[in-house]
Amino acid sequence: MNSVFQSLEESRKANGACALALIDPDVKNDLILTDLVNRVVDADFDAILVGGSLIMDNGFEDRISKIRQNSNLPVIIFPGSSRQLSANADAVLFLSLLSGRNPQYLIGEQVESAPIIYHIGLEAISTGYILLDGGVKSSVQVMSNTNPLPVEKEDIILAHALAGQYMGMKVIFLESGSGAQSVISNSLLTLLKSKLSIPIIAGGGITTAKFASDLVTAGADYLVIGNLLEKCDDRNKLKEITRIIHYRKTT
């Protein structure tokens, strides 16, 4: 049986790219959680990322279970800390915050979470996480006490991405934060795609089919849709974006 990552890679190669829905498992989404999952399923996303920088209560496990009950899609934890783990998920992005220099998020959280991941049998997808400056101070920046990389410093971003690849990571995740004013450029993605041999995940500020199309054309292998999912109940708009992402899909 294929791993979650292997299955997603097969879908990516068949369909062109993958659409990942990001759901924040915080109390603020309790009343709309089922509707959010239904939007994801209806819009033909490939998997659900679950996670947030700060969860204000102890309901993480219950919300993971609710998401699982309402969807057959792979549920992958996008953890804000080592406390955001659950056996009800299928996999976890095993993140190292390459763009920062805070040892807690380079190795500390990983050491704390590794025995738990092993014990509950969660698939770990080794991920080099690079936070880009989106023009606003993101929750990740505040909670990790790290500075993002300037989006125009493409050579520096490339160096960080290559470091992640050489350390054996399976994917590189570029994130400019929710509500980003400055977003990932086509030139940056084109550069990274020409140098990396591992897939690229791009997230932050993806709110239109045109922008999604530009990112996929430039080289993004996975696109993360989060803010738009919460704010937009127009399922046709979401479907339009996933159709663009699945540019090779025939059915």
DSSP string over 90-155: SEEEEEEETT---HIIIIIHHHHHHHHHHHHT-EEEEEEEEEB--SS--HHHHHHT-PPBPTT-HH
Residue 127 has pLDDT above 70, yes or no: yes
Residue 251 has pLDDT above 70, yes or no: no
Residue 240 has pLDDT above 90, yes or no: yes
Angle 223-228-232 (CA atoms, 0-180°, nearest 5)? 140
From the list 191, 203, 134, the residue with the least C-alpha distance to 162 is 191
DSSP letters of 176-218? Answer: --TT-SS---HHHHHHHHHH-SS-EEEESS--SHHHHHHHHHH
Residue 178 has pLDDT above 80, yes or no: no
% of residues, the chain, pLDDT over 70: 98
pLDDT band, residue 128 (cuts 50/70/90): very high
143 near 80, Cβ under 8 Å? yes
- 198-237 pLDDT tens trace: 999 999 889 999 999 999 999 999 999 998 998 887 889 9
pLDDT at 180: 67
- 58-87 pLDDT tens trace: 999 999 999 999 999 999 999 999 999 999
Residue 98 has pLDDT above 80, yes or no: yes
Domain 4-245 has CATH 3.30.390.30: no
Please, what is the average pLDDT of the chain?
94
Domain ranges, ordered by start, for the chain: 4-245
Quick one: tokens of 14? 């068949």
pLDDT at 52: 86
% of residues, the chain, pLDDT over 90: 84
The rounded distance, in Å, linking the Cα atoms of 160 and 165 is 9
Residue 182 has pLDDT above 80, yes or no: no
pLDDT at 225: 95
pLDDT at 179: 63
Residue 165 has pLDDT above 70, yes or no: yes
- Indicate the DSSP class of residue 243: H
Counts of helices then strands in the chain (DSSP H, E): 11, 8
